[in-house]
Amino acid sequence: MPKTEIKDEKTYRKLRKKGESKKKAARVANAAAAGHKGGKSHSYDEWKKEELVKRAKEVGIKGRSTMKKAELVKALRHH
């Protein structure tokens, strides 16, 4: 098994003292060191209507060709 690299040693030790497993402590410490959760994409509000229509087609939103930009944004957010 490969050796785990701990990115935030202080957080890791603190979690281990609290009784967390090595695996969980490593996961939490490494996530905390990353500084943010998940990816970051641009807001649909910043996209051009043509880009929104293309994305709506990719995800299978029906009626996209007759939607206004605001409707496309709402549909994509709730898809």
- Per residue in 10-24, pLDDT (tens digit) is 988 999 999 989 888
pLDDT at 39 over 70: no
Residues 35 and 49 placed together within one structural domain of the fold = no
Query: How many domains are contained in the chain?
Result: 2
Residues 52 and 65 placed together within one structural domain of the fold = yes
Residues 48 and 18 placed together within one structural domain of the fold = no
Residues 5 and 35 placed together within one structural domain of the fold = yes
Nearest-CA neighbor of 44 among 23, 75, 18, 22?
75
| Residue 56 lies in domain | 44-77
- Give 4 or 21, the one with higher predicted confidence: 21
% of the chain with per-residue pLDDT over 90: 48
Residues 31 and 48 placed together within one structural domain of the fold = no
Instruction: Please report, for residues 12, 31, 47, 65, the alpha-carbon distance to residue 4 in angstroms, rounded to integers and kept in the order given.
Output: 12, 13, 40, 50
Residues 50 and 23 placed together within one structural domain of the fold = no
Residues 15 and 28 placed together within one structural domain of the fold = yes
Confidence of residue 75 (pLDDT cuts 50, 70, 90): very high
